[in-house]
Amino acid sequence: MNLNRSLLAALVLATASGVAVAEEACSASATTDLERLYCDVVAEGGGQGLPSQADFRRNDPKVQALLLQRPAKRLGLSVPAVTAEPAQSKPAPASLASSKPVKPDYEQVPSEAPPTRFGQLADCALKGERIVCPDRQFKLALNQPNRALAPSVLEDENRLRLRPFEGDRSDEQQVLAYLSSAYDRYIPKMLAIGLGANTMSFTAFHNAFHTLEDGGVDFAERMERTYQLLKQDKLNLAVQARYHDRLPENLALCEVINPEIIVCDNVATNWVFVSRTQ
């Protein structure tokens, strides 16, 4: 018994030592303020959903700051400002194949939408699958069977209609303003086709934009095509109401999309809560 206890104690000490060494190695190899903040977040236990240190470094500083925004906020840490890089002339993105579909028409949305995505939830309380506010309650949105959907939402006429990005991609404020407006449209449109449990987090939305545009693919057009495929799948395939039982830990993970919708995410998982005014 004493031997077993000694072995267990040695194992615990070795594990703790290994964690400490890993944290020290992370900090020692950090070369920027964002990389040092990454190490601090991981050391404080807030690294769930973050990529590995090596993968984190491969991201643009603006994306790094976005990845750290939520976990740092939860830990009371501030994210250093990212200075804009000097504008550089870039070759025009390669065009898509000639067989690509015609660009969809799109809904006009304000281009000056604020880049900050945090809503005011100070008077609300997170209670499991509900968010309770003074004037209304929000319930966790699940995937819905087709019989519960409004007529014609799965027909071709129902389009996502995001406007193409026409700003300066090196200006992160412009990018975030555009994506904020696009995301505020994307979430209700996913709810309309009964896929509230299949939505992308804003971080994933942001990363998809840069990945597609870097590859010469129009983000708005690709999202439109994806939306049409989702509708076809919804017509022909049954979907689970939900894929896990995890719930957001607190309202610091949540943002107001509009008076009827709140979205919460921890980068890895997205939750949508929908209200019916009391």
Q: For position 153, what pLDDT does the model report? A: 96
* 5 alpha-carbon distance from chain centroid: 45
Residue 21 and residue 248: Cα distance in Å, rounded? Answer: 31
The pLDDT of residue 49 = 65
The encoded tokens of residue 34 equal 């964002």
pTM of the model: 0.60
Q: So what's the pLDDT on residue 66? A: 76
> What is residue 260's predicted lDDT score, i.e. its pLDDT?
94
pLDDT at 22: 57
pLDDT at 30: 82
**pLDDT under 70: residue ranges of the chain:** 1-24, 48-49, 55, 58, 60, 83-120, 277-278
Residue 53: Cβ-neighbour burial (10 angstroms; 0-12, 13-18, 19+): middle
**Which pLDDT value is given to residue 47?**
76
What does the pLDDT read at residue 68?
A: 85
Task: Give 56-115 as a DSSP string.
Answer: HHTS-HHHHHHHHHHHHHHTTPPPPPPPPPPP---PPPPPPPTTPPPPPP-----TT--S
